[in-house]
Amino acid sequence: MDETGGWDLRIMAWNLWELRGDLHAVVETLQDLRPDVLLLQESPRFVLPTTRLSWLARQIDRRVLLGGLAGRGLAVLTTDDVAAQVIRRRLQPVPQRITDLNSTYPRGIAAVRLSVPGGGAAVVASTHLALQEDNRLVHAAQLAELVRGAGAPAIIGGDLNETADGAARQALEPLLSDPAAQTEHTFPASGPVRRIDAVLTTEDVRVRAAHAVTSSDRVPVERLAEASDHLPTLLDVTL
């Protein structure tokens, strides 16, 4: 809690590329930045997904609230303090129109409802929009339904596979916006030129800082580019 009675949280979203990159760089970055809530995309799906996700959680002293086997590549990890405020959690599948091999990747929304100390609630969720615009629009409609039904501040982090002028992002814009500068590019990590990863918020979330992560105390730019093909994006908020 801060001096005004608000709940300060650090939210971080990251497409982890199925943990195929520099694992030491992944772990050290997360240890350095210490997110209270970590919203993951492309979490391991095929080889011991629960074991590998649990390993990552142990390295950074976080708890897995959602993810692992049948997690659709999504995961939500938090500190013990945040985990103690969980009201409910849900992994919601998102249907897709299958047109090619890329459209067979399972999509969904991993959402957690939290009790805010001092009163109220908030929803945090991880998501990974499809490569195809029509499927992204279906996904956006389900995200909008989640936000409208929350009756509380909402924070949605993920790999959105389009920039702010994309059709799905525009459909969400009345409800969810990206507080970071659109020049805070996240992809590709080795030379980012597009911001396709973001942590979106409803207007009732007080944002203190928002930016793409390009390095940390122990992980310089070059090493972070080897951790994943996406850069993480970070948000400091007060609820």
The per-residue pLDDT for 5 is 74
CA separation for the pair 90, 146 (Å, rounded): 11
Domain limits at 44? 8-238
Q: Which residue has the tokens 């300060």?
A: 8
pTM to 2 decimal places: 0.97
Judge whether 174 lies within some domain: yes
The encoded tokens of residue 194 equal 């597009």
Predicted local distance difference test score (pLDDT) of residue 2: 60
Whether 13 maps to a domain, the answer reads yes
Give residue-wise pLDDT tens across range 106-152: 999 999 999 999 999 999 999 999 999 999 999 999 999 999 999 99
Handedness of CA 24, 27, 31, 32 (dihedral sign): positive
Q: Which residues are within 8 A (CB) of 91 and not within 5 positions of it... i.e. 6 or more apart?
A: 66, 70, 71, 72, 74, 108, 109, 110, 111
Q: What is the DSSP string of 97-116?
A: ---SGGGGS-EEEEEEEEEP
Q: Is residue 39 part of a domain?
A: yes
- Per-residue model confidence (pLDDT) at position 214: 98
Q: Which CATH number do you get for residue 20?
A: 3.60.10.10
Residue 185: inside a domain: yes
Task: State the total domains in the chain.
Answer: 1
For residue 1, is it within any domain? no
d(CA 94, CA 237): 28
In tens, the pLDDT along 40-62 reads: 999 999 999 999 999 999 999 99
Low-confidence stretches of the chain (pLDDT beneath 50) = none
Confirm whether 3 is domain-assigned: no
In a domain, 2, yes or no: no
